[in-house]
Amino acid sequence: MSGKKRVVVTGMGVISPVGNSVEEFKNALIAGKSGIGPITLFDTEGFDVRIAGEVKNFNPADWIDKKDARKMARFTQFAAAAAVQALCQAALVEKTGGGAEGGEIVTGWKLRSNAERTGVVLGNGIGGFEITTESFRKLFEQGPRRMLPLTIPLMIGNEAAGNLSMIFGAKGPALTQVTACASGSDALGQALDLIRAGRADVIIAGGTEACIGPFGIGGFQMLKALSTKHNSEPEKASRPFSASRDGFVLGEGAGIMVLESEEHARARGAEILAEFAGYGASADAYHITSPDPSGAGGSRAILLALEDAALRPDDVQYYNAHGTSTELNDATETKMIKIAFGDHAQRLKISSTKSMTGHCIAGGGGIEAIACVLAIREGFFPPTINLEDPGSECDLDYVPNTVQYGSITAAASGSLGFGGHNGVVVFKKYEPSPAARDAGTEEKQP
């Protein structure tokens, strides 16, 4: 890590099945609250799966102009709302009367950092699924002239990053990472690298997804990836590392961080929440939907992330697992944690917050990274709920059912995506570098 530019977290925002703010999300994790329930977004008659982790009580107009929101797919609305939260916490935006010069976005937010040095990197796996579904329906039932006029710009995965750059006037890199369920973690890693390389001072980064609909549920159902045994008890359906696990529960949401170089954050007197210390990525090169059962690919990503963060395995106290509640994932992930952490795996606190949120696909990497920062700052290990019967191959400490407390100086989060994508991010309790400490924290213009 010597010589690398340090990157810090100064803001966070969450839209999730268990809360639409960081505070609500934190309280839900501590309480072990499930966000899984009956699907309300569409009629599930004829489906084997009738439950999901839906975002509840969400009104995009609480965060962005309602005229803007009407031009966005649901996954973009989630990202925009979480980004507003994160930028407000970081004190990098101020409210305006709207009416940005040029373009179609009304906005209402003014960026307080150098626009050309502020970027956006978002992970998204699927894009505007509800738009795709509705436009296909209109195409086949009524013909092409009845399709939604904004079908293409609303359905494509880069819409979220593009809209965020317009809402806030961020003119640095605006990029989209697509690595399935690893997209959110990989987007954070890409942002880390951009700041270290000096290509930006500030990046709005994370993941977002909204694919709970007939197309998404139907498609995953046909893969036999989803839980089907708990429609009558949805809060018990997501049960990572349990012997009785029978598939994941589809979730939705967004987790967004404001990342900055340490010197930029300290120069403007920002509150630093944690250091984003390391990132590692690898490919299994094994199978399009199944992880490599040897655990070699995932363990390599963990070790690369630890090396990048200049940490030993036993420096990490908490690992937020991908933990999907599928038979293959949980057994393989347990194996890869053992390979990467060695003897320390037996002492490591591990949990799957997907037991509460469901699997938010690309949104999961951002949401779970925020869980790591909260764990460091608040000193708690989120539980894995519904873990009454651990699988025989799942024999580590998964913080079963109830929150635990303790000192955490480093935490990591792993994401595994269809296609064999593995992404791991590492966060540390922030300690100022000697140069930054000597420079002081006098407020300056960002």
User: What distance in Å separates the CA atoms of residue 96 and residue 106, rounded to the nearest whole number?
Assistant: 10
Structure confidence at residue 139 (pLDDT): 93
Structure confidence at residue 106 (pLDDT): 56
| Selected catalytic residue, list 230, 359, 360, 372 | 359
Residues 199 and 167 in one domain: yes
| Selected catalytic residue, list 230, 264, 322, 421 | 322
Structure confidence at residue 232 (pLDDT): 95
Domain containing 180 — which CATH number?
3.40.47.10
Q: Is residue 14 part of a domain?
A: yes
Q: Is residue 42 part of a domain?
A: yes
Residues 125 and 70 in one domain: yes
Q: Which of 275, 273, 283 is nearest to 310 (CA)?
A: 275
402 is written with which tokens? 């109830």
Domain boundary among the residues 237, 252, 274 is at 274
Residues 249 and 391 in one domain: no
**pTM recorded for the entire structure:** 0.94
Instruction: Kindly tell me if the per-residue pLDDT of 1 is higher than 80.
Output: no
The model's pLDDT over 37-80, given as tens digits with 9 standing for 90+, comes to 999 999 999 999 999 999 999 999 999 999 899 999 999 999 99
* Cβ within 8 Å of residue 207, ≥6 positions away: 122, 123, 124, 183, 184, 185, 187, 188, 254, 255, 360, 362, 363, 364, 365, 366, 367
Q: Is residue 145 part of a domain?
A: yes
Domain boundary among the residues 274, 297, 322 is at 274
Q: Is 264 among the residues known to form the active site? A: no
> Which letter does DSSP use for residue 269 in this model?
T
Residues 126 and 230 in one domain: yes
Domain hosting 87: range is 7-274
Structure confidence at residue 321 (pLDDT): 98
Domain boundary among the residues 274, 298, 315 is at 274
Residues 75 and 93 in one domain: yes
Residues 263 and 303 in one domain: no
Give the total number of structural domains in the chain.
2
Q: Is 181 among the residues known to form the active site? A: yes
Q: Is residue 360 part of a domain?
A: yes
The model's pLDDT over 140-173, given as tens digits with 9 standing for 90+, comes to 999 999 998 999 999 999 999 999 999 999 999 9
Q: How confident is the model at residue 438 (pLDDT cuts 50, 70, 90)?
A: low
Q: Is residue 25 part of a domain?
A: yes
Q: Is 287 among the residues known to form the active site? A: no
pLDDT: which is higher, 261 or 434 = 261
Q: Is residue 302 part of a domain?
A: yes
Structure confidence at residue 331 (pLDDT): 97
Instruction: Kindly tell me if the per-residue pLDDT of 330 is higher than 70.
Output: yes
Lowest-confidence segment of 73-77, 133-137, 228-232, 287-291 by average pLDDT: 133-137
Structure confidence at residue 103 (pLDDT): 47
Q: How confident is the model at residue 439 (pLDDT cuts 50, 70, 90)?
A: low
Instruction: Kindly tell me if the per-residue pLDDT of 434 is higher than 80.
Output: no
* Residue 7: count of CB within 10 angstroms of its CB: 24
- Give me the percent of the chain exceeding a pLDDT of 90: 88
Instruction: Kindly tell me if the per-residue pLDDT of 413 is higher than 70.
Output: yes
Q: Is residue 205 part of a domain?
A: yes
Q: How confident is the model at residue 3 (pLDDT cuts 50, 70, 90)?
A: confident
Residues 268 and 290 in one domain: no
The model's pLDDT over 195-223, given as tens digits with 9 standing for 90+, comes to 999 999 999 999 999 999 999 999 999 99
Instruction: Kindly tell me if the per-residue pLDDT of 446 is higher than 80.
Output: no
Residues 292 and 270 in one domain: no
Residues 254 and 363 in one domain: no
User: What rounded mean pLDDT belongs to the chain?
Assistant: 94
Instruction: Kindly tell me if the per-residue pLDDT of 394 is higher than 50.
Output: yes
Confirm if 290 and 328 have CB atoms less than 8 A apart: yes
How is 29-45 classified by DSSP, letter by letter?
Answer: HHHT----EE--SS--T
Lowest-confidence segment of 82-96, 106-120, 232-246, 333-347 by average pLDDT: 106-120
Q: Is residue 311 part of a domain?
A: yes
Residues 202 and 169 in one domain: yes
User: What distance in Å separates the CA atoms of residue 96 and residue 272, rounded to the nearest whole number?
Assistant: 25
Residues 75 and 168 in one domain: yes
Structure confidence at residue 101 (pLDDT): 43
Residues 82 and 203 in one domain: yes
User: What distance in Å separates the CA atoms of residue 296 and residue 282, rounded to the nearest whole number?
Assistant: 10
Structure confidence at residue 102 (pLDDT): 41
Q: How confident is the model at residue 328 (pLDDT cuts 50, 70, 90)?
A: very high
Q: Which of 103, 58, 106 is nearest to 85 (CA)?
A: 58
